[in-house]
Structures are given as C-alpha cells and as structure tokens.
Structure 1
Amino acid sequence: MTPSGPAFNDLPAVFPDWSPYPDLESAARAYLRDPEVALDALGGVLRGATVLGFTLERFVNEVNGVWQEVVVCDGTRLVLWHGEDVPPSEGPPGSMTSSLRVVPLSAVTEVGCRRRLTRGGGGPVRVDSVDVYLLLSSLDEAGLGTVASEEASTLIRHDALRFGKTLDDGGAGQIARLEEFARLVASLVGRPI
C-alpha cells in the first residue's frame, strides 16, 4: 500500500469475487489489493510455466491490516506468494512484507478436503464451507512434550498448508474453485514427475 492509499480500516470487508476469472492475472487483479507485487514475485519464479490451478485469499484484521495469499500449481510445484501489511509500530505507514515460497509437489504427502454440507427442508444438499490441507514432508516443529503417562516424549509436527472458504467468506464460486484446486493437487501427488 502506498502512503497515499486507503488505511486498512477503510477497506471493505467483502472483496470482489475472483472465482469467475479462469486465469491467474485477471483473478489477482480483481481480488488482491497489490496484484502487481504478487504477479511480479510469482512471475519471477514461474517464468512462463503453465498455471494449472490456483487459489487466492485475502482478509483484513485490525492489527496488521491486509493479508493476501496466492497459491499456484504448475504441475511440479506449488508457488506461494504472501503479502501482509506491517503493523504501525513496526514500520512506516504503508509498509508491507512480500514473501515467496516454492514447495515441490514431491514434498506433499497427503491432501485432505473436508466439506460441510447443509440440507434445508428436504431440498438439495449444499456445500457451505470447505477446508483443505496439504501435509508436507518438512517439519513445522519438533520438541519435547508430555503424554498422558507424564513421560517426556518427542513431539513432531509436519508442516501443512491450509486453505478454507465459506459462503460468508468467498461464496459458492470460491468454494468450488478451492475444491477444484484441491482435486488438482491430489491428482498430481505421488505420480512420477
């Protein structure tokens, strides 16, 4: 955000829907506050690779302002961009971080997708939320903990990527696009690259 841009608390809580846009650039320009920053960072890694699927997320919180994320699958890796406003106490007005992470699909060990379904009055079943996780072979943290028997044991937690959409946060279109993204990654995990 530029110093002349709107303050984070002036931004609407509901953002334009990116789900109708089939290509990454159009979706990012419709949905992200900082599409140029995201597309430039992603383009430096993708370098013309075919984007097979993607998902986008954005929200506003009162501490850090705008938080944005793009996750792209090009068939061999996941390329993640994350942009987040810096809290006022940690930098000049308008400061943000821009982070990039590349995860080879060979590092994804499990894909999970949980749908919450509702049925109103005997009518058709409707998906009202979806939660997706991608379990990675890398470790998030390891340390000592205690189990029920009070003995010390080593706790190991694998790194995971988590994504979620609801009817209130994204709507039916973004729920469907996230499910589509999860199916794409699931179809590629474990296959020879």
Structure 2
Amino acid sequence: MPTPQDWAPYSSVDEAARVYLRDPDLALDQLRSVVDLPTIKSFIMSRGVTDDAWGEADQSLWQEVVLTDGHRLIMWRADDEMSTSGDRGRRLLNTSVRTILLSTITDHVLTAEYEMLDDDTRRLSEVRLRMYTQLITRSRQKSATESDIYCESFRYYKSVDNGGLAQMQRLLQFGRVLSRSMQ
C-alpha cells in the first residue's frame, strides 16, 4: 500500500481526500450526499492499518474524514473487512456516513501539549480533541435506585509521530471551529 501524501496542506476536503485517502471518489460521493462541500468550515482526516482482515499478503486499512459545516459533525469512515458468510470469505469495504448535530455535544476538550526546550522556547508535540455527547450508548444498573449511564464520545489525536506538525495544527483549528460553532 503506497504511503499517502499529507492532507493537512490542503484547504479543500476534495483536494485533501485525493492525495490522502485510498478511496477518495467513494468518500467524496458519500459526503456530497449529506453536505455541500463549499459549506465545510473545517475538517480532519486519519487513516491506519488494522489487523490483517484481508489475509497475510494484504494490509487492512481504515480511513476517516471528520468535518463540520458549523451545525453538524459529519463523519465518513471506511474499513476493510472480510465477510464470514459462505465457505470462503469475501473482501469487503464497509463505509458509513454519520451526522451528529453539534447541539448534542455537551463537552469539548481541546488539549495541546508542548515540549519545553532548553532555550525556553516550546514546541508543539501533541494535540488531543475529545467530545462527549448526550447520545446514550449503554447503561448499567448499580443498585435498585442508581444506574451508570455512558454517553458516546469521540477522540482524535495527532502528534509529532502521528501526522506531524501540520496535522496537529489542523486538529487545533478543527477543535476551535467546533468550539465557536457549539451553542
């Protein structure tokens, strides 16, 4: 699998997808079905290799585009999978587009970590974005009168070793756009 170019220098999701994603046409078609691309205020992308779903000779890939139009969080995700039906498994690409209203995000934490250098300057080394929603994923009864409720959360991470400086800066930008858009 060829190494993708960095998506962070591109200001348009269309251009970034074409240099970074393995399946850019599919991603863009599915995203266009739910959002007008010119209305996108900010976006981030990620991809990685997972456990060998397609056999020893192939790498299994996941790809993700997360964007906002200022009102919604829109997530496109694609995962390589192996079908378990039938005598012989088939290679599958499982894709989804998810839309969440920003008004359902109840907590948003944007963390930047800096390495302090000997000359008293600092260097950005890690950025983390965590979002917690009102969307209940499960609950657990603790007693007759108490329950633990678990809400859906989303976490995004970029570092010097995971994306580099440009992607860390884009994650910071994305988190700030979300923060200004939440009501």
Q: Does 1:40 find its partner at 2:29?
A: yes
After TM superposition, the structure 1 = structure 2 runs for residues 1-193 of structure 1, keeping only pairs within 5 Å, are 11-12=1-2, 15-47=4-36, 50-64=39-53, 65-87=60-82, 89=84, 91-93=89-91, 95-145=92-142, 153-190=146-183
Give the superposition deviation at 1:145.
4.3
RMSD of equivalent CA atoms? 2.0
User: Percent of pairs identical after alignment?
Assistant: 30
Q: Answer yes or no: is the 8 Å Cα contact 2:31–2:76 preserved in 1.
A: yes
Distance 2:10 2:39 in 1: 16
Structure 1 Cα separation of the partners of residues 169 and 132 of structure 2: 21
Contact preservation (8 Å) 2:137, 2:151: yes
Tell me, in whole angstroms, the C-alpha distance in 1 between the residues paired with 2:71 and 2:21. Answer: 25
Is the CA contact 2:13–2:37 (under 8 Å) kept in the aligned structure 1? Answer: no
* Unaligned ranges ≥5, structure 1: 1-10
1:57–1:70 CA contact under 8 A, matched in 2:
yes
Q: Aligned to 1:21, what secondary structure does the other structure show?
A: coil
> Would the alpha carbon gap of residues 153 and 122 (structure 1) be closer, same or farther in structure 2, given more than 3 Å must change?
farther
In 2, the alpha carbon distance for the partners of 1:40 and 1:21 equals 19
- Aligned equivalents of 2:37, 2:43: Cα separation in 1: 15
SS of aligned partner of 1:126: strand
Structure 1 outlier segments of 4+, above 6 Å: none
Structure 2 unmatched runs, 5+: 54-59
Q: Give the length in aligned residue pairs.
A: 174
Q: Tell me if structure 2 keeps the 8 A contact 1:130–1:165.
A: yes
The superposition leaves residues 77-132 of structure 1 with CA deviations (integer Å, 9 ceiling, x where unpaired) of 11110000003656413x11011100011111121012221012234211111110
Q: In structure 2, what is the Cα distance between the partners aligned to 1:140 and 1:174?
A: 30
